[in-house]
Structures are given as structure tokens and as C-alpha cells.
Amino acid sequence: MNTIAEKAAQLERDFTVFDDWMDRYNYLIEIGKTIPQLDEKYKTDAYLIKGCQSRVWLYANLEEGLIHYTADSDAVITRGIAGLLIRVLSGNTPQEILDADLQFIERIGLQEHLSPTRSNGLVSMIKQMKLFALAYQTKLNGAANKENKHV
């Protein structure tokens, strides 16, 4: 199993092959097409990420101690960004996700999607993915840690 850092490094290598922003965007769009299909029943307001100019739905489930994300968006670039994050974070433990360093986003030239304007969903997506991880981590810790029970 690859660590998050290894997956991020691989993604960074994949992107830096492209000099041209258009090629990078095309690659991002391709990544977006590879996201595991989000079940229709999760395309509701409850799973909608706030702070996006485009709509993004995100769901996470825990299987044998590892989190798997699925997502969808009505904007193709946003779906690509979700795909990037899923490629790096999915299949890891909640704690690994909580500790993840996501600096690679800036290094592959997508930093404008990190700006604190209402339009960008990247920051909200990362926050939501980490919240899911926190919730599952808390669940795993069990009733023993009563003060960790609230999320």
C-alpha cells in the first residue's frame, strides 16, 4: 500500500511532465473521469460541499480500517480536483488522512484553486475529507474517549 506522501509525489511527477497549462487541465479532467461513481442516493444536500461555485457531493466509507471516498461535481475541473484528492487520500487510515500534507497541489500549479474566494471548492473539499476522517477516527476510538465523541 502506498503512503499518502508517495501517492502525492507520483501525482506531482505525472503533472510536471506537462509544460502547458492546457495539457495539465486536460490531464486533470481525465483524472476526474476515473473517480469511483458516487451512488445517486448521496447526491443530496447532506453531502453537498459548501463554498463551491460548482456543486460537489462527497461521500466516505470505512472498510477494514481504511477510508474510501467517492465524489461527483457538475463542473469538470472541480471533478478533476476531487479526483486528485481521492487518488491521494483514498485507501488510507483516518489518522494518515488527518496528518496528510497537501502541499503538492501548489507544486502542480493548481494554487489558484486554493484561494479563499467563495468560488473555489478545493479548500472546502479538503476540509470535508478531513472531517470524514476525524469522524471515522473517533468512531474507531470507540466510546472509551468520551470527550472525543463530538465532531
Partner 1 sequence: MEEMIHGLPDIATIRKDFPILKQYVHNKPLVYLDNAATTQKPLAVLNAMQEYYQTINSNIHRGVYSISVEATSRYEKARDHIRDFLHARESAEIIFTRGTTEAINLVANSFSGKFIKKGDEILITAMEHHSNIVPWQMACERLGASLKVVPLQSDGRLDMEAFKALLGPKVRIAAFTHVSNVMGIINPLGEMIALAHEKDIPVMIDGAQAVAHIGVDVRALDCDFYCFSGHKIYGPMGIGVLYGKRELLDQMPPWQGGGEMIDQVSFEKTTYNELPYKFEAGTPNVAEVIGLDLALTYLQNIGLDNISRHEHSLMALLRKELSALDGIRFFGDHPGNTSVLSFLVDGIHAYDLGSVLDKFGIAVRTGHHCAQPLMGILGIQGTIRVSLGLYNTKEEIISFVEALQKAISIFK
Binding positions for partner 1, rule: CB under 8 A: 21-22, 25-26, 29, 53-55, 74-78, 112, 118-119
Question: Smaller CB distance to partner 1: residue 32 or 91?
Answer: 32
CB 148 within 8 A of CB 138: yes
C-alpha cell at 21: 497549462
Question: Smaller CB distance to partner 1: residue 92 or 128?
Answer: 128
**Minimum gap (Å) between residue 7 Cβ and partner 1:** 24
**Minimum gap (Å) between residue 133 Cβ and partner 1:** 26
**Minimum gap (Å) between residue 83 Cβ and partner 1:** 14
Question: Smaller CB distance to partner 1: residue 39 or 74?
Answer: 74
Question: Smaller CB distance to partner 1: residue 21 or 143?
Answer: 21
CB 110 within 8 A of CB 122: yes
- Nearest to 141, CA basis, from 95, 91, 90, 89: 95
Angle at alpha carbon of residue 5, lines to 67 and 24, rounded to 5°: 95
**Minimum gap (Å) between residue 125 Cβ and partner 1:** 14
Say whether 52 is catalytic: yes
Calpha distance 104→150 (Å, rounded):
31
Q: How many CA atoms lie within 13 A of 26 on its CB side?
A: 7
C-alpha cell at 62: 470505512
Maximum distance among all Cα pairs of the chain, rounded to whole angstroms:
52
Of 8, 28, 52, 100, which is the active-site residue? 52
Catalytic residue numbers, as ranges? 52
